Amino acid sequence: EKQELAFVSIFKGGELSVDKGATVLVEGSHSAHLYTVLSGWAFRYKLLPDGRRQILNYSMPGDLIGLQGSLMGEMQHS
């Protein structure tokens, strides 16, 4: 377990704190960053043509967010 934590910590560049209701990654944007939810929770959503949000799933502590933008180059959701 110590070796795994040491390996993962090599890739950690810092921590990002966001306010409640803030958007971390925006649909259509490009981001090389990958985030791990450390506390609280988040949700992925797509904007519908009428401006409403359709929630795709929820993220809890330990979940990764931003993987799609890192691998595919463009976020398909916010």
Per-residue pLDDT of the chain (78 residues; tens, 9 = 90+): 788 878 877 877 788 888 998 887 777 777 777 788 889 998 888 889 999 989 988 999 988 887 665 555 566 666
Residue 77's CB is within 10 A of a number of other CB atoms, namely 19
Domain coordinates in residue numbering, the chain: 15-72
